Structure 1
Amino acid sequence: MFCCKHSCKNEDSCGEVCISYCAVRKWVRIFKGEDAGETILRDRKRSGRPLSASDTAHREKVDCMIRANRRVKQKEIADEVGISKERVHHIVTTVLGYRKISANWVPRRLTVEMKAQRKDMCTQLLERYNAEGEAFLQCILTGDESWVDHYDPECKAQSMEYRHKTSPSPRKFKVVASARKALLTVFWDMEGVVYMEFLEQGQTVNSERYISTLQALKLRLRRVRRDKDSTLQHDNARPHISRQTQDALRQLELTDPTAPCTQPRSCPL
């Protein structure tokens, strides 16, 4: 446009950095033709081809297919609706806002009675917290058993080092986890771990063994929690809910009659 108005070559104004002759000729034809005097170089708005694949009818069909089968594939939707897979992906993710996620693994399928029991327990604990506040949380102990390796290898993130860009990256040999494991029983409160012990080789956790662990826990509590009451909240494993264990908990004063003692799936281990 500048060259056309001032009658000069584009090499004179731009030097080596200039557009091609074909582009200049096209612009000159436009400026001298019907659009003489126009200086806007952007494309004008035009109708173009309408997006018929993303209209309301297709969106409703895709939505109905997803609601009928949450595991339907986008290729199946494209074949059924008669549009491209790219348009299906746009409708599903952008227009309808769907995203495909995996299911979470849970230990077991709960019945209505189990769900009601958990709801009652949580309601009781919430009422206690609303009445007593932080004092109720300070008296709660929880515990569980978990298998731990004798040796836990260092992961790649732990072995990261600061290096310059030109320095070679460090090498790390693959190390498998230890084949031998030990069963760890640990108890903790809101401030951290209170007591833990490892199960001797060849033994199993039964009611008698768990009661022995509770007795050792009580001795530990007398040293670290002298001025605090202790209410044990643990899961419903068989050694935890046996009659012998419940009697021992009452003798050791680790239970509170106003709060549920056995909490299904209350421990994160």
Structure 2
Amino acid sequence: MKNSKIEKDHIRHLLLFNYNKGMKARAAFREIDKVYPGSISVVSAIRWFKKFREGDLSLKRKEGTGKEKTFSDDDLKLVVKSNPYMTLNDFAAIFDVTKSCLSKRMKVINFTNKNTLWVPHVLSNKNKCDRLTICMELLKRYQEENFLDYIVTGDETWVLYENVAQRREWSERGEIPGKTAKAGLHPKKILLSLWWDVKGIIYLEFLNRNETINAIKYQQQLRDLREALALSRPSLFNRGKVHFHHDNARPHTARDTVALLKSFEWNIIPQAPYSPDLAPSDYYLFTALKNALKNKKFTNDNELKDFVKKFFASKEPTFYKKGIYKLPSLWQSVVNCGGDYAK
């Protein structure tokens, strides 16, 4: 009975009835589907409502003429932008054309189907505003004085004993590929803290087992960093030109931490929340380290620590400078995107 002509006519009458009540197509579909499950698809409901809005209230489907129906590029763009997650079949049904016809038209209007991008956080309007304001401020400061050579930046990251990477392999058609086990839920790891500038690593520390970074620990690290800076970068330290950059983690923004940094007389570079794309350690240094660690396995702390230290020591100053000097272009990208993550 579900596919009979009588029921189809009845369903179309219900669609028109709900349209005249001012209901939206999707809401009408839900109401009808409650009573007649599976009798109509949401795409069909949308197509019929589009027909009604165009002034055609007849309930008869027009017989095909053998030619694809025409519709404007602007109509297609409007529907796609309002429903970007629908399939090609869905759009073809809305416009009552074949999938191949719709595919060709998508190419004409320069639309492609892509995976959505992974981003660190879904930014609120306030988040975007904060990022935009800070990046505009830093760009203005940079134009007045190139302070990139004076930036000291740092963060912390976990380094693992076993660094599993998914591998690609050639195999005969139909042959089952090899398997790679994922890392466990609680892998053996060490927490690494470091600070660096355009010349290289200034201070590096591995935390002890079960040790965490709280405000007291972080303040001690800052004192150690200041001593290391005085020894390895005396000209920068003595001139008082340090432009210090770190993120907004709680130990970093604690009242005593802020007071300590103020006593150092360092210039603090503002960092907007949820912005690892603007933190050199995140977008550059740690990424390079994790790539070097791929498929590496270590049996003890000393092996892992030695590898990390040798990795950083093997890099020329140009490597570090490249990471810091990316900042102005990233600031500009955020401005161009209105505070959002750069595409």
Q: TM-score, normalised by structure 1?
A: 0.64
| Bigger Cα Rg | 1
Kindly state the Cα deviation for residue 180 of structure 1 after the two structures are TM-superposed: 0.3
Kindly state the Cα deviation for residue 63 of structure 1 after the two structures are TM-superposed: 2.7
Q: 1:230 aligns with which of 239, 242, 259?
A: 242
Kindly state the Cα deviation for residue 207 of structure 1 after the two structures are TM-superposed: 0.3
1:77 matched to 2:124: no
Give the aligned partner of residue 81 of structure 2.
Answer: 67
1:201 matched to 2:212: no
Higher relative contact order (CA 8 A, sep 6+): 2
> Which amino acid is 1:74 matched to?
L
Spell out the pairing of 1:104-115 with structure 2 (5 A cutoff): 104-115=117-128
> Which amino acid is 1:129 matched to?
Y
Q: Secondary structure at the match of 1:183?
A: strand
- In the alignment, structure 1 segments of 5+ residues that lack a partner are 1-50, 160-171
Post-superposition Cα deviations, 1:117-143, rounded to whole Å, max 9, x if no partner, equal: 33332222222211112xx10111111
Give the aligned partner of residue 89 of structure 1.
Answer: 103
8 Å Cα contact 2:156/2:194 also seen in 1: yes
1:99 matched to 2:112: yes
1:53 matched to 2:54: no
> Which amino acid is 1:81 matched to?
F
Change (3 A) 1:230 1:62: same
Q: 1:118 aligns with which of 116, 122, 131?
A: 131
Q: Quick check: which one's helix share is greater?
A: 2
1:246 matched to 2:254: no
Give the aligned partner of residue 148 of structure 1.
Answer: 159
8 Å Cα contact 2:130/2:272 also seen in 1: no
8 Å Cα contact 1:233/1:263 also seen in 2: no
Post-superposition Cα deviations, 1:141-195, rounded to whole Å, max 9, x if no partner, equal: 11111111023357758x9xxxxxxxxxxxx995765820111112222333322
Q: Secondary structure at the match of 1:219?
A: helix
Spell out the pairing of 1:135-214 with structure 2 (5 A cutoff): 136-152=147-163, 156=167, 177=183, 179-214=187-222
Kindly state the Cα deviation for residue 95 of structure 1 after the two structures are TM-superposed: 0.5
8 Å Cα contact 1:74/1:89 also seen in 2: yes
Q: Secondary structure at the match of 2:162?
A: coil
8 Å Cα contact 1:78/1:84 also seen in 2: yes
Change (3 A) 1:184 1:67: same
> Aligned partners of 2:248, 2:255: CA distance in 1, in Å?
13
> Which amino acid is 1:125 matched to?
L
8 Å Cα contact 1:139/1:230 also seen in 2: yes
The sequence identity of aligned pairs, in percent, is: 28
8 Å Cα contact 1:232/1:261 also seen in 2: no
For these two proteins, the number of residue pairs brought into alignment is 201
Moved more, 240-249 or 119-128: 119-128
